[in-house]
Amino acid sequence: MHLLMKILKWLAIGFITLVIILIAGSYILYSTTDMKQPDLDVSDLSDLPFSITDSLRSYGDNTLILNRQGLWELYVKGTPFERGVAIGRISEDLLYYQEKVFVDEIRKIIPSEKYLKFLRYFLVIFNRNLGKQVPEENREEIYGISLSCTDEFDAIGTPYERQLNYHAAHDIGHMMQAYRLVGCSSFGTWGNESADSMLIIGRNFDFFVGDDFAKNKVVAFYHPDEGYKFASVCWIGMTGVLSGMNEVGLTVTINASQASVPIGSATPVSILARIILQYAGTIDEAYRIAESHKTFVAESLLVGSAKDGKVVIIEKSPDKIGMHQSSSGRIVCTNHYQSDVFRNDPKNAENIRTTDSGYRLHRMNELLDRAGKVDHQKAAGILRDTLGLQDKLIGLTNEKSINQFIAHHSVIFKPQELKMWVSTSPWQMGEFVMYDLGEIFGKMDSAKITVSSVDADLTIEPDAGLTSGTYIRVQNYRRLKDEISNAIKQGETVDSKRLEVFLQTNAEYFYTYELLGDYYLSQDKPAEALSYWQTALTKEIPRLGDKENIEKKIGKNN
């Protein structure tokens, strides 16, 4: 007995010592975090002419224009710090709105203040070396923007720290796959697959942080003091690249994939895409840049090149890089790897087996086969497609759809003509407006742009779903879904007529039946719940985990 007590005593001492070491280590990591804020003398900033109206803002030669279609057009030039300061000065209210919407959406996902504080603590430690991984040029631009940011969210970090961390938002979305914040589908055609043999590239950027987050879309035109001029579709404050094209016809779009869980931060993929767009003119140059930067998430970068006359996929994980090339005039990219480097990777195989990525890739190939020679009009139709394989009705908002009604933006590029079509709200259903980058970059060399650069003659018409009732159905479905979900949480009842409307609004979608089953179980009606769950299993379910979850509910309540 005495020996047992001694053993327990030393185990307790060892455990307490380990806890102390972990707490002390975490504190040291937290307190020594250095985000490498640039050491710049703000007092030296020149006081440039500044003006603001409802649709036109300017600071020196930099302007922000709200066009008729509801897109903000940003035109900036100069050194990194000058560009950042200009962006901040002409968009202070938009920066506040964007940040508040983002923080509010995170609070919906993680409503507990304790968990939010822990998340902040974790992110500080996880991203403690983020500053070292972001080039000085990019940090100076971000710092310039942060000078116009609010202090309201300082509990999350200083304005500079927050803005730097937001550039990893897409990456952090990888780590929250259960919340389905990231998706994306893209393709490229050329040669005998395109209408005039020229490159056509289309992409949906499915990054969903609520519809309000996508309200103020920005088309940014950069005239940097070093590197190529380029255009990027983003939100205000985002200096990284999500979808963009430079003045020599090189395009970059990013698509999330899956790899091992990261253990520390590295270069955010949007910053890597920005470096490629600003400094690469060919696929080889883009690959060398991608190879020289370590990323902390798995990502596919669809890179098109007017000089090379083709499109490739550069695939990166935290420890490997590969390139997928096509032997035909077509390439398709969703959310899994396709190169030889990752062909036998267990995580990639699991990703293909358990998610909707492979399904969307097959659907996009099906649509491309049917389209024949692709032009910008056909590209828009593919990006707007809501059906499943062989045109099967699989329900609106299904992850197996190319168009899931969550896209922040859609873009179509024609690199050899330097033309770019950008979607307008809602999602990719609004008209696609065309920008002639060759003309715009030429004007930026010598003039201050004060009117919208949209070419109205080459606009792609809005999707028919805006007037046929599809848009209203999606809106009604999501509203009723939230109402029923809240009723389940609160133990409340929902009028039977509203439940019927909910069912009829999206009767082919598996989740409609799963949620109704959950509701009836909350009302202590297991027979009705089982019926709806069993019906859900007859529908197209995007993820293996979703199917297994429904089967568990049936087994538990049968």
- Predicted pLDDT at 66: 98
- Predicted pLDDT at 28: 42
Answer whether 337's CB lies under 8 Å from 347's CB: no
- Predicted pLDDT at 40: 85
- 179 has pLDDT over 50: no
Residue 174's pLDDT band, with cuts at 50, 70 and 90, is low
- 308 has pLDDT over 60: yes
- Predicted pLDDT at 80: 97
For the stretch 87-138, pLDDT in tens is 999 999 999 999 999 888 877 766 666 666 666 655 665 666 788 889 999 9
- Predicted pLDDT at 47: 78
Cα separation, 301 vs 309, in Å, equals 17
- 29 has pLDDT over 80: no
Cα separation, 52 vs 38, in Å, equals 28
Cα separation, 85 vs 41, in Å, equals 12
The larger pLDDT score, comparing residue 345 to residue 258, is at: 345
- 48 has pLDDT over 70: yes
What value does the mean pLDDT take over residues 231-250? 97
The larger pLDDT score, comparing residue 116 to residue 478, is at: 478
- Predicted pLDDT at 157: 82
Who contacts 378 (Cβ-Cβ below 8 Å, separation ≥6)?
A: 195, 371
- 455 has pLDDT over 90: yes
Q: List the Cα angle 247/250/256 in 5-degree steps.
A: 130
Q: Which amino acid would we find at residue 378?
A: K
- Predicted pLDDT at 261: 57
Cα separation, 33 vs 264, in Å, equals 13
- One DSSP character per residue, 48-111 reads --EEE-SSEEEETTEEEEE-TTS-EEEEEEESHHHHHHHHHHHTHHHHHHHHHHHHHHHHHHS-
Q: What residues does 316 pair with on adjacent strands?
A: 299, 321
- Of the candidates 322, 305, 130, the one whose C-alpha atom is nearest the C-alpha of residue 313 is 322
Cα separation, 162 vs 145, in Å, equals 11
- 24 has pLDDT over 50: no
The mean-pLDDT minimum among 98-112, 216-230, 343-357 falls in 98-112
Q: For 467-475, which contacts have Cβ atoms below 8 Å and span 24 or more sequence positions?
A: 470/386, 470/396, 470/429, 471/426, 471/429, 473/396, 473/505, 473/506, 474/396, 474/397, 474/405
Residue 27's pLDDT band, with cuts at 50, 70 and 90, is very low
For the stretch 259-281, pLDDT in tens is 655 556 789 999 999 999 999 99
- Predicted pLDDT at 257: 85
For the stretch 365-415, pLDDT in tens is 999 999 999 999 999 999 999 999 999 999 999 999 999 999 999 999 999
Residue 81's pLDDT band, with cuts at 50, 70 and 90, is very high
User: What percentage of the chain exceeds 90 in pLDDT?
Assistant: 75
- Predicted pLDDT at 190: 98
User: What percentage of the chain exceeds 70 in pLDDT?
Assistant: 86
- Predicted pLDDT at 112: 66
What value does the mean pLDDT take over residues 217-245? 97
- Predicted pLDDT at 122: 57
pTM, two decimal places: 0.91
Phi, psi of 58 (to 5 degrees): -145, 150
- Predicted pLDDT at 178: 44
For the stretch 486-545, pLDDT in tens is 999 999 999 999 999 999 999 999 999 999 999 999 999 999 999 999 999 999 999 999
Angle separating helix axes 526-536 and 510-522, nearest 10 degrees = 170
